[in-house]
Amino acid sequence: MRFLLDAEQREFARSLDGLLTSCDTPAAIRAWAAGDHAPGRALWARLAEAGVFALAVPERYGGFGPLPLDLSVAFAQVGRHAVPGPLVETVAAAALLDRLGDADAAGAHLPGIASGTTVASLCLTALGPYALDADAADTVLVVDGDTLRVGARPGPVQPSADPGRRLSRPSGGTVLAEGPAVAAAAAHAAGLAALATSAQSLGVGRALLARTVEYVKRRTQFGVPVGSFQAVKHRLADTLLALEFAEPLVHGAALALAAGSPDADRDVAAAKVTAGEAAYRAARTALQLHGAVGYTDELDLSLWIRKARPLRDAWGTPAACRARVLAA
Amino acid sequence: MDLDLSEADEAFRTEVRDWLAAHVPATPLPSLESAEGFAAHRDWERELAADRWSVVSWPTEYGGRGASILHWLIFEEEYFAAGAPGRVSQNGIHLLAPTLFAHGTAEQRARVLPAMARGEVIWAQAWSEPESGSDLASLTSSARRAAGGWLLSGQKTWSSRAAFADRAFGLFRSDPDAGKPHHGLTYLMFPLDAEGVTVRPIGRLDGRPAFAELFLDEVFVPDEDVIGEPGQGWRIAMSTTGDERGLTLRSPGRFTAAADRLTALWHEHGDPADTALRDRVADAVIGARAYRLFSYAAASRVLHDEGAPAGAAASLNKIYWSELDIALHETALDLLGPYGELADHAPDSPAHGGWAEGYTFSLAGPIYAGTNEIQRDIVAERLLGLPKGRR
């Protein structure tokens, strides 16, 4: 047993962090929110080049996956830098198409996903009526009961609380598959989506904590840095605590998914609720400790604050996850 | 990265499980916070030691098995899953022994450790004083030079296990003119039945004498019972408090076993419509899993030479397990409804495995081993780099 990321995974995280630091992700989010997807697509291409989407695609379709743990490593960086776009939905679509057992369907979509030319969105109507960023996607998949449709059209954009997320109700499309295999593949895809969302939440939480720690060291009141006040320190200590103990749950869930463990669903649910709540608490703390300036959309911090809550609820609400943890 | 155990690890687990299945008493021992229970637990320590299970991680020469930290975690998981008795020796094993391994002499290790491993000498910790708790360096009990040793005077309090224990260890001010509060302190071991020692048991929240206060009046201690250099007690003691908060005091096995029992209680007694309570059960169960995986990650770092966790990381651990322990027990009491308030020894108490005493014990967690407020300061200052301020 060696329950630690290996050197290669840590190097992968470092290189993604470096890559994304050199991109202006806040500008890409603001453009994305205004319907200009070009900067976001450029970011997408760079992530694809770094191999992020190939991690979800098997080798025979041009990827080197599926590797849930490496995907977790990548999505933590995606969250840390608040990258916009249906990244989770694209890797979940890959998982769905891979698991479906339809070689034609897989061959039609997976190579494009692996290389970054295909941006996909995925809507499981059992979880909610909206597809994320369908207006920016090359293909939209919808699972309704045990029917899978592809090529669904995005409906009018419904603004999300997070400007980096654009929701719409997909409609139409052609039926690609029907039956129990669809439901099973959709459940598998939902598990991977929940895992990737957990990792993304961790990254969002880490970014919020780091920015807030920097701020309270600089900001002075009553002649001293506000970070020297015990009430401030304790909130930040609790934020770190929650993130530190959520991370091994995410890694453990990734290993369970990779191994096809019978407990994978439970483990993913535990990771999802814990990472989602930790990031959301980090957002509340960041807002409180920044004070009024944190309540503005001018400060880039708002892009992370507004992301935390939707991620907490996407791909498995806290209540649904807690129920799954106790399901016998 | 993996979580799989090797065949050798699994074999070790099986060996532990088999031994426990054959030896764990069928009926729980009386509370170790009673004279009768203390004696029964002392016998249990002897039984563990006879087959070298009392201190698995120690070197074999002192009664251990030289087990790795991973095997220690496995041992603890099996121990708690089997419902084995609480460890009356734990102060000595977790607090004094690591200090002796790091700072004691060969003579001290040979004299103290095997007797500790066999439960023959039970140790109490004597840190706090009436005016020195979180601000431990303000302590005033004194050690004064005498021929061949030292004379101890003063008062210690909240001394766990001291009501029935044999010996104690603690810090004393040996140089009142050293300048700074944490200078001029000496770390000493002393007998609780020596002339000049008065032990006054203190009832804990549930009335059991889990701790005591000690009055020391010119108690003679020979030089051989000084740990490390006289005057260097603070530095030596701090290495012990790290252990107290860190990985080895509260193994995840304790909490995963409690989480399993809580899950069973939920499936047995829980009202599926009570989603608020269901969510708390789920959170406690998830918390135990998180603590277990966090501990495996920390153990992996040690085993694979990636550096032991920083001392301040032990503070994260301490806050986490102490709050988790309360959450597990509070939730269990809520599940028990009207039976939740019954003491474990009440005739009507359901046989649900000591939730009442466990609850009382858990309430002390955020207070002892350095309050959680102090731990949060340590996390904020040393792990997040926030500036020091007024407490």
Mean pLDDT by 10 residues, chain A (328 residues): 95 98 96 96 97 98 96 98 98 97 95 98 97 97 97 94 95 96 97 98 98 98 96 98 98 97 97 98 98 95 97 97 92
Mean pLDDT of B87-93: 94
* pLDDT, tens digit (0-9, with 9 covering 90-100), for B265-295: 999 999 999 999 999 999 999 999 999 999 9
Are the Cβ atoms of B290 and A225 closer than 8 angstroms? no
Mean pLDDT of B309-330: 91
Q: How far is B377 from chain A (nearest CA, A)?
A: 7
Q: How far apart are CA B127 and CA B136, in angstroms?
A: 8
The pLDDT assigned to A112 comes to 98
- Cross-strand bridge partners of residue A121: A140
A69: which chain B residues are within 8 Å (Cβ-Cβ)?
Answer: 1
B290: which chain A residues are within 8 Å (Cβ-Cβ)?
Answer: 245-246, 248-249, 270, 274
Is A274 at the interface with chain B, CB within 8 A? yes
Residues 6+ apart with CB under 8 A from A43: A20, A23, A25, A28, A83, A84, A85
The residue with greater pLDDT, A37 or B245, is A37
Residue of A nearest to B319 (CA): A241
Q: How far is B9 from chain A (nearest CA, A)?
A: 9
Are the Cβ atoms of A326 and B385 closer than 8 angstroms? no
Side-chain-side CA neighbours of residue A107 (13 Å): 3
Q: How far apart are CA B295 and CA B357, in angstroms?
A: 25
Instruction: Based on the residue annotation, tell me whether B244 is a catalytic residue of this protein.
Output: yes
Q: For the whole model, what pTM was predicted?
A: 0.96
Residues 6+ apart with CB under 8 A from B61: none
B384: which chain A residues are within 8 Å (Cβ-Cβ)?
Answer: 209, 213, 233, 236-237, 240
Asked if this assembly's ipTM is beyond 0.85, the reply is yes
Dihedral angle sign, alpha carbons of residues B76, B78, B81, B86:
negative
The pLDDT assigned to B326 comes to 98
DSSP notation for A109-144: HHHHHHHT---EEEEETTT-S-EETGGG-SEEEEEE
Are the Cβ atoms of B380 and A229 closer than 8 angstroms? no
Would you say B314 and B239 are in contact if contact means Cβ atoms under 8 Å apart? Answer: no
Is A268 at the interface with chain B, CB within 8 A? no
CA angle B321, B136, B100 (to 5 degrees): 75
Is the pLDDT at B307 greater than 80, yes or no?
A: no
Backbone angles phi, psi at B150, to 5 degrees: -140, 155
Is the pLDDT at B244 greater than 70, yes or no?
A: no
Are the Cβ atoms of B380 and A233 closer than 8 angstroms? yes
Q: How far is A109 from chain B (nearest CA, A)?
A: 30
Are the Cβ atoms of B293 and A234 closer than 8 angstroms? no
Q: How far apart are CA A236 and CA A286, in angstroms?
A: 9
DSSP conformation class of B164: T
Is A255 at the interface with chain B, CB within 8 A? yes
H or E, element range at A314: none
- Cross-strand bridge partners of residue B319: none
Is the pLDDT at B97 greater than 70, yes or no?
A: yes
Q: How far is A134 from chain B (nearest CA, A)?
A: 33
- Among B33, B76, B129, B244, the active-site one is B244
Are the Cβ atoms of B384 and A237 closer than 8 angstroms? yes
Token couple for A225 = 């840095």
Are the Cβ atoms of B278 and A322 closer than 8 angstroms? yes
Nearest Cα neighbor of A192 from A29, A56, A59 is A56
The pLDDT assigned to B135 comes to 86
Residue type, A216: V
Are the Cβ atoms of A252 and B289 closer than 8 angstroms? yes
Which pLDDT band holds residue B239 (cuts at 50, 70, 90)? Answer: confident
The pLDDT assigned to B202 comes to 95
Is the pLDDT at B193 greater than 90, yes or no?
A: yes
Q: How far is A20 from chain B (nearest CA, A)?
A: 23
B146 to A84, A167, B190, B247: CA distances (angstroms): 74, 81, 15, 39
Which pLDDT band holds residue B369 (cuts at 50, 70, 90)? Answer: confident
Three-state secondary-structure class, residue A247: helix
Which pLDDT band holds residue B250 (cuts at 50, 70, 90)? Answer: confident
H or E, element range at B185: strand B185-191
B12: which chain A residues are within 8 Å (Cβ-Cβ)?
Answer: none
DSSP notation for B207-245: S---EEEEEEEEEEEEGGGEESSTTBHHHHHHHHHHHHH
The pLDDT assigned to B241 comes to 66
Provide the number of CB pairs (under 8 Å) joining chain A to chain B.
150
The pLDDT assigned to A114 comes to 98
Which pLDDT band holds residue B305 (cuts at 50, 70, 90)? Answer: confident
Q: How far apart are CA B7 and CA B10, in angstroms?
A: 5
